[in-house]
Homo-oligomer: A and B are copies of this chain.
Amino acid sequence: MTPIAKLRALDEVVDAIAHPARRQILLTLHFRGGSATAGELAARFEHAWPTTTRHLRVLEDAGLLRHERRGRTRVYTLDRERLGLVTEWLGWFAT
């Protein structure tokens, strides 16, 4: 990953986790073992379903999620790797 691409990726990831609902989605996935269907995730919010759908898209565009079609459901899977970009950035401030 070129340094510029990395900066852009960091920007997308930080943007993605800047919304509480999106952080909640990531945590929910984590504690469900990494995967859940769109319906299971949407059920955890009071938002209308399309609102959650959009949050899922933001997370996926940032590379924090992948999805696969399983029959008429969609299974979203957490991809923790890019969270490392934030950890790495925070590392600059290590005392």
Total chain A interface residues with beta-carbon distance under 8 A: 20
Which B residues are CB-close (under 8 A) to A90?
A: 83, 86-87, 90
Is A40 in contact with chain B by the CB < 8 A criterion? no
Which B residues are CB-close (under 8 A) to A1?
A: none
Q: When each residue 56-92 of chain A gets 1 if its CB lies under 8 Å from chain B and 0 otherwise, what string results? A: 0000000000000000000000101001001101101
Interface residues of A in 1-52 (CB under 8 A from B): 11, 14-15, 17-18, 20, 23, 26-27, 30
- Inter-subunit contact B14/A17 (CB<8 Å): yes
Known pairs A11-B20, A14-B18; A93 contacts B83 (CB<8 A): yes
Q: How far is the CA of A92 from the CA of B80 in the complex (A)?
A: 11
